[in-house]
Structure 1
Amino acid sequence: MAEVTPTPGPFFLILGIYFVLMACIGWYASRKTKSLRDYFVLNGKAGVIISGIAYATTQYSMGTFLGTPGMLYKMGYAGMGITIPGVAFAMIIPTVLIGRRLVTLGHERGFLTLSDYLSDRYEDHRMSGLLGLMMLCFLIPMMGAQIIGAGVIVNVFTGLPAYVGVIGMGAIVIIYCMSGGMRGAMMTDVLQGSLMFITAIVAFILTLHQGGGLSHLNSSLNEMNSAYMSFPGANGTMTWTYYVSNILLWSFFTMGQPQLFTKFFAMKDHKTMFRAVLLGTGGMMVTALLVLWSGVNGISLVPNLKNSDYIIPIILQRGLNPVIASVVIAGIVAAGMSTIDGLLITTTSAATRDVYQKYINPKASDDQVMKLSKIVTLIVGVVVIIFGCLKPGSIFIINTFAFSGMAIFVVPILFGMYWKGATFPAAVSSVIAGVLTLICCTKIAAMKALIHGFHAVVPGVAVAALVMVLVSLSTKGKRPSEETLARHMLTKQGRA
């Protein structure tokens, strides 16, 4: 690329040290991992710092540092309108609506996965099969989006083909997830979260320095195109309907994400949860605000960039000494790795515990499941690497679609916790109807026109909710027992 001067020596040296450190943490975690519950949810003993940072870093991804700044590079300040409301509520809403109950159920019932919760609430283990299928369809592409970002970084800093970064990152994440499970993932998240925070600050400061200050940058933007300074943005994307959709997607609908959902099972207690929310929310707001603002500032710093996903790496590469730039760029690598490890463990748990142990071999011991988990982690990891090498779309588009697919599960989760009438047939029907609506509103032009600019996830969730109500009313005989309802319902009698 003409915009950058590759510096492969310092880059590989620093990233090599970083990857070795991640692998060592995974090895250490494996020595401390003694049980299946420990492997999947840290035995429910995660403290404030680990819980807060792990939730935040799993929520953030390569999209935060590559895809989303790239989107704002084309749009301007309008894209930043979703940053504060979207990020501020990303942990708060799930905590208020479902968090207390999940922490309680995780300790009382030993839940390890989203499937454990849904199967228990609806008294049918077939929920595991549905959830497992959805994870394969949506979480693998979500992991693929992160690993594509590694290819972008390697290409910018070394000039080597993108697949080198894809394979390298994939191999390291597989190693430490196979070794330490959730303990390894959450321990590495602490280091990765710190790097992400530093990277966002450094990128923003560099844009101010390179652009002669914020006032000069804004004047340049206004001269280039005044639409960069207002809604709906230079490319007309951020209409009010799309704006509302994005706030809902990245805050309210995070409750349907299994990789975030299970973090509550790992938390030590309710006090830990609330303190972790304050820590994680503060860190996410600062990180998102600065890195996305850097994407906007980059419009005038690196004009006419063909691939906008490259904007943050280019800013860092241009403004820093090669060695320092390589250290800071590890923060972007950390963003991808911290998301992949959470997704990888979640997908593995669905395949081994939810499908194998509950259906294929109910007599399988926890030790057998742990051993199988390592094999499944390797297989899924290889599939993700292949996906990343094929690169079927942009980071932002892949990540958003995959996140939207899993968001549909917010319907059976919330209805299961707040309405006694919700039944198993309705839960299954709602997810299927919601996902089909999401796909149709994404791919079919006539359906896109009908939703008037809303993101496809909004009608997807709306249809899922409607189906949940209608099918539940027609299958009243399938309601769970009073004992199960008392355990799950957030009523006066059942409140956590």
Structure 2
Amino acid sequence: MQLEVILPLIAYLLVVFALSIYAMRKRTTGSFLNEYFLGSRSMGGIVLAMTLTVTYISASSFIGGPGAAYKYGLGWVLLAMIQLPAIWLSLGILGKKFAILARRYNAVTLNDMLFARYQSRLLVWLASLSLLVAFVGAMTVQFIGGARLLETAAGIPYETGLLIFGVSIALYTAFGGFRASVLNDTLQGMVMLVGTIVLLVGVVHAAGGLHNAVETLQTIDPKLVSPQGADDILSPTFMTSFWVLVCFGVIGLPHTAVRCISYKDSKAVHRGIIIGTVVVAILMFGMHLAGALGRAVIPNLTVPDLVIPTLMVKVLPPFAAGIFLAAPMAAIMSTINAQLLQSSATIIKDLYLNLRPEQITNEARLKRMSATITLLLGALLLLAAWRPPEMIIWLNLLAFGGLEAVFLWPLVLGLYWERANAKGALSAMIVGGLLYAILATFNLQYLGFHPIVPSLLLSLLAFLVGNRFGTSAPQAAVLTTDK
């Protein structure tokens, strides 16, 4: 173990726990559900930008994405930049309208919104189960990424790192709730920004300058500096699929959508769009470029996902490596706590309280259940991550695609099309989810497109057809979350 690397990381984790304790003590009076899962809808512009950005930027962006850039070259850096409009799309399409309706219906979760809009219990159950299955896959990726970081940069065995990482996140998420999550997201966003810039400067310096780094890449493989990338992977169909999956499709991600109902006012949204887009640009460009140029510094990595932690150890002094190891750790932790909270909210609010509505007033029981379920989910994820695959980016994209195929059209059309009804939404969810599962399982790519593209197109068609056989939902009722 490398103590110079581990000690700054321990200090960082202590700060994270301190913020969680602060958040727990600052909980406002009123509904436990609104406070624990939404922070009483009190986020300002900077906090909104940071929490949305770092929730979106996960282990895939800090570990898997740079790993892909290491393997495929500078073309992957350009590909990563097509994610730039993601924050604008999320807050612009969902933002105000989503938040206004959520306040009107007193909605706490995405599924609350779907029930208020479509008045269908079957739809809520289908959405809840889909979310939980996909989130297990998505969070497993984050756990693997965190453990690999500790293994490579700090010399901690994979299994030990997995336990340290998983237990830390499960504890601070379980006891701090949403307010702790977004406060830590803001801290983690700052750490990610500084860490990205410092690491990129260190990589360029270690490679002998930018010009020398590019020449070295060309010597290794001329395709590494071509727009098509190594193995000519970056075809037009691949790039179109990637944009749909990681940019347009993010408006259908539940843990992103719930951030859009938690802000304070319109000013927060406008500031969030600007700040969030700038932060995404810096992080995406910096981390992927560091991964691509890293091949000029360490050309013979057998596991591409290890490029960022290996570069940290190689190009930074040990103490600095420990400090900036917190950057990718922050990216991973912020994504997991968002998804853990959303999973816990789904089980408590969308499933348990649907079966036992009389328990809505038993806040002591709800508090215990929320913390317990979050801890149990953390334990399940530890088991799932015990034997990891070689490259995590594909598993992460698989889980994201499943969520988008199920949620995107019911969410967007429910907001913007008054005639949308439950039969249309159910048709879209079933067709989108099943088709995506079949195409992804058997690795079928129609005309070279990723499964998300045909899944979303046929899901939209299913919505339009199914909608013709249904009737508009009655006026949505206000949901009860208070005593």
Give the shorter-chain TM-score range. over 0.9
Counterpart check, 1:26 vs 2:20 = yes
What is the aligned partner in structure 1 of residue 481 from structure 2?
none
Q: TM-score, normalised by structure 2?
A: 0.94
Aligned mates of 2:133, 2:398 — CA distance in 1: 11
Amino acid of the residue matched to residue 32 of structure 1?
K
8 Å CA contact 1:204–1:293 kept in 2: the answer is yes
Residue among 232, 235, 247 paired with 2:243: 247
Instruction: Give the one of 269, 280, 283 matched to 1:284.
Output: 280
Cα deviations by residue, 1:392-411 (Å, 9 ceiling, x for unpaired): 56320111111111112111
Deviations 1:63-114 (A, max 9, x none): 1111011011111111122233312x10111222221111212333221111
Structural mapping, 1:246-285, within 5 Å:
246-285=242-281
Question: Which of 380, 389, 394 is equivalent to 2:391?
Answer: 394
State the AA in 1 paired with 2:42. K
The 1-side partners of 2:433 and 2:157 are apart by: 35
Q: CA RMSD in A?
A: 1.7
Match of 1:11 in 2: 5
Q: Greater CA deviation, 388-397 or 288-297?
A: 388-397
Counterpart amino acid of residue 33 in structure 1: R
Distance 1:49 1:366 in 2: 34
1:80 to 77, 80, 95: 77
Q: Deviations over 1:123-174 (max 9, x none)?
A: 1233321122112211111111111011111211233321111111111111
Q: 1:59 aligns with which of 53, 56, 60?
A: 56
2:460 is matched with which residue?
Answer: 465
Establish whether residue 224 from structure 1 lines up as the match of residue 220 from structure 2: yes
Amino acid at match of 1:239: S
Pairing 1:479–2:472 present: yes
Counting aligned pairs with the same residue, the percent is 25
Q: 1:43 and 2:40 equivalent?
A: yes
Q: Distance in 2 between matches of 1:159 and 1:189?
A: 26
| Equivalent in the alignment of 2:431 | 433
Aligned to 1:380: 377
Structure 2 matches for 1:169-184, cutoff 5 A? 169-184=165-180
Match of 2:91 in 1: 95
Q: Secondary structure in 1 aligned to 2:108? A: coil
Distance 1:128 1:32 in 2: 32
| Alignment correspondent of 1:423 | 421
Equivalent residue for 2:335?
339
2:110 to 85, 90, 114: 114
In 1, distance between residues paired with 2:170 and 2:321? 26
Structure 2 CA distance, aligned partners of 1:170 and 1:46? 27
Secondary structure of the corresponding residue to residue 133 of structure 1: helix
Detail structure 1 runs of 4+ shifted over 4 Å in the superposition.
none
Amino acid at match of 1:190: T
Tell me which amino acid in the other structure corresponds to 1:58. T
Query: Partners of 2:25 and 2:390 in 1: how far apart?
Result: 39
Q: Is the 8 A contact 2:105 2:113 kept in 1?
A: no
Aligned-pair CA distance for 1:452: 2.0
119-128 vs 399-408, which moves further: 119-128
Q: For residue 449 of structure 2, what is the aligned residue in structure 1? A: 454
- Aligned position for 2:318: 322
Residue 203 of structure 2 is matched in structure 1 by 207
- Between the aligned partners of 2:197 and 2:434, the Cα distance in structure 1 is 41
Instruction: Confirm or deny that 1:407 pairs with 2:404.
Output: yes
Query: What is the TM-score of this pair, normalised by structure 1?
Result: 0.92
- The answer to whether the 8 Å contact 2:74/2:226 transfers is yes
Question: 1:490 maps to what in 2?
Answer: none
- Residue 236 of structure 1, CA deviation: 2.1
Q: Deviations over 1:232-275 (max 9, x none)?
A: 21122211111011112222111111111011111001121111
- Deviation of 1:207 after TM superposition, in Å, equals 1.4
Q: 8 Å contact 2:34–2:40 — kept in the other structure?
A: yes
Matching of residue 234 in structure 1 with residue 234 in structure 2: no
Distance 1:101 1:82 in 2: 30
Q: What is the CA-CA distance between 1:223 and the residue it aligns to?
A: 2.1
Instruction: Render the CA deviation track for 1:261-319: whole Å, top value 9, x for unaligned.
Output: 01111100112111111111111111110110011101221112100001111111111
Answer whether contact 2:86 2:248 (CA < 8 A) is retained. yes
TM-aligned CA deviation for residue 366 of structure 1: 5.6
The answer to whether the 8 A contact 2:244-2:452 is kept is: no
Q: Matched residues in 1 for 2:462 and 2:43: separation? A: 37
C-alpha contact 2:120 2:422 (8 A) present in aligned 1? yes
Partner amino acid, structure 2, of 1:394: M
Q: Distance in 2 between matches of 1:463 and 1:117?
A: 23
Aligned positions of 1:135-150 closer than 5 A: 135-150=131-146
Equivalent residue pairs, number: 473
What amino acid is aligned across from residue 453 of structure 1 in structure 2? G
SS in 2 for 1:235: helix
Alpha-carbon deviation of 1:430? 1.2
Q: Which moved more, 1:360-369 or 1:257-266?
A: 360-369
Contact 2:304–2:391 (CA<8 Å) still a contact in 1? no
Between the aligned partners of 2:448 and 2:211, the Cα distance in structure 1 is 33
Aligned with 1:285: secondary structure? helix
C-alpha separation between the residues in 1 aligned to 2:421 and 2:408? 15
Looking at structure 2, the residues matched to 362 and 280 of structure 1 have their Cα atoms a distance apart, in angstroms, of 40
1-side partners of 2:328 and 2:147: how far apart?
A: 12
Asked if the contact 1:26–1:175 (Cα under 8 Å) also holds between the matched residues in 2, the reply is no
Give per-residue Cα distances to partners, 1:350-390, cap 9 Å, x unaligned. Answer: 00011011224444326132321111111111111111213
Q: In structure 1, list runs of 5 or more residues that go unmatched.
A: 1-6, 488-496
What amino acid does structure 1 have at the position aligned with 2:472? R
